[in-house]
């Protein structure tokens, strides 16, 4: 009969072999502890350097941003002062009558109050140029401003920002000045590219537009029209642009900003000057002989 081995008592006495516990010891503990502290110190040191460099870069970026912002504000202030002086000189050149000057200034102020932000800044710069065109070429200022706004998006188009072409004037073979080459455009409803006129600044861009109209027989015969909307309607009928909604856009812009106020104010001053010139008699009395 096979012998039966009773393991119960052996299990109770836990006589099975056990693995000895791993003990680090005092020296090992010190080594590991010091190593851990070194690692933590290294991480802290590297982090401190990184934070310091980041803070320095952030401070430098902040100071540069503030400096650039200050420079931009000073430049804008100077630009506004120069613009105001141009407007003041232009108003004064139209009339020496205080009533006329105040009336024109009031109308300009109302036009500027009808816009804000980028639109206002564009009007501030464009109004003096449009006034010069009306007084020198008899093209209504409202038409000039409205067409520039519509064609350039208040001076925000690529042609306007990079090439001071605010009226979308193409550079045909007869154009001998600078060109903006291969600019994207639409012609007869299709996307294409074309060359456009380029100008060095806003003033020359506006004067270039005036010269373009005056040099074309189809448009020159409508110069002298007092209504900006009527002037645009006439040159559209003469073939200026095939867009059937062009005049609708121009009318909406003129009404939005009250640009026809400018036409009326300048026209009143011109009419008054002409009336004064007719009333003042021309003397036929010969001048006294010079004495020695």
pLDDT of amino acid 69: 81
Tell me the C-alpha to C-alpha distance, in Å, between residue 286 and each of 277, 280, 283, 291. 20, 17, 8, 15
Do the Cβ atoms of 147 and 235 come closer than 8 Å?
no
| pLDDT tens readout for residues 198-230 | 999 999 999 999 999 999 999 999 999 999 999
Q: Taking 50 as the threshold, does the pLDDT of residue 292 lie above it? A: no
Share of the chain above pLDDT 70, in %: 72
- Name the DSSP letter for residue 20: P
Tell me the C-alpha to C-alpha distance, in Å, between residue 273 and each of 18, 78, 105, 111, 163. 120, 33, 18, 24, 38
Cα 242 to its chain centre, rounded Å, is 28
Domain spans of the chain, in order of start: 77-269
Q: Taking 60 as the threshold, does the pLDDT of residue 290 lie above it? A: no
Of the pLDDT bands very low, low, confident and very high (cuts 50, 70, 90), residue 189 is confident
119-128 burial code (b ≥16 CB/10 A, e <16): bbbbbbbbbb
What's the pTM value of the predicted model, to 2 decimals?
A: 0.66
* pLDDT, greater one: 289 or 132: 132
pLDDT of amino acid 9: 61
pLDDT of amino acid 259: 95
Lowest mean pLDDT among 187-191, 221-225, 285-289: 285-289
pLDDT of amino acid 39: 79
| pLDDT tens readout for residues 228-271 | 999 999 999 999 998 999 999 999 999 999 999 899 888 877 77
| pLDDT tens readout for residues 19-77 | 555 565 666 677 677 777 777 877 787 777 766 776 677 667 777 888 888 887 787 67
* pLDDT, greater one: 111 or 96: 111
Average pLDDT, the chain: 81
List the structure tokens of 80.
């506004």
* pLDDT, greater one: 62 or 118: 118
The structure tokens 């202030």 sit at 77
Lowest mean pLDDT among 60-69, 132-141, 268-277: 268-277
Does the domain formed by 77-269 have CATH 1.10.490.10?
Answer: no
Q: Taking 80 as the threshold, does the pLDDT of residue 91 lie above it? A: no
* 163-191: average pLDDT: 90
């Amino acid at each position: 009969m096979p012998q039966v081995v009773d393991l119960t008592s052996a299990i109770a006495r836990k006589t099975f072999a056990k693995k000895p516990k791993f003990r680090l010891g005092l020296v090992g503990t010190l080594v590991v502890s010091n190593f851990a502290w070194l690692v933590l110190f290294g991480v802290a040191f590297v982090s401190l350097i990184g934070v310091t460099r980041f803070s320095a870069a952030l401070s430098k970026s902040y100071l540069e941003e503030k400096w650039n912002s200050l420079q931009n504000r000073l430049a804008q202030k100077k630009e506004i002062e120069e613009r105001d002086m141009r407007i003041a000189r232009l108003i004064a050149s139209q009339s020496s009558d205080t009533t006329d000057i105040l009336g024109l200034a009031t109308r300009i102020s109302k036009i500027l109050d009808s816009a804000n932000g980028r639109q206002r800044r564009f009007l501030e710069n464009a109004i003096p140029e449009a006034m010069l065109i009306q007084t020198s070429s008899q093209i209504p200022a409202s038409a000039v401003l409205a067409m520039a706004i519509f064609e350039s998006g208040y001076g925000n188009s690529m042609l306007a920002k990079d090439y001071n072409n605010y009226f979308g004037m193409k550079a045909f073979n007869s154009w001998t000045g600078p060109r903006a080459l291969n600019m994207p455009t639409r012609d007869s409803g299709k996307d294409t590219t074309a060359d456009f006129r380029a100008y060095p600044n806003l003033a020359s861009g506006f004067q270039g537009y005036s010269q373009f109209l005056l040099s074309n027989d189809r448009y020159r015969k409508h110069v002298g029209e007092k209504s900006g909307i009527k002037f645009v309607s006439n040159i559209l009928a003469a073939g200026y642009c095939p867009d059937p909604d062009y005049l609708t856009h121009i009318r909406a812009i003129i009404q939005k900003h009250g640009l026809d106020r400018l036409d009326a104010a300048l026209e009143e001053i011109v009419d008054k000057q002409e009336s004064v010139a007719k009333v003042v008699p021309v003397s036929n009395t010969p001048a006294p002989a010079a004495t020695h």
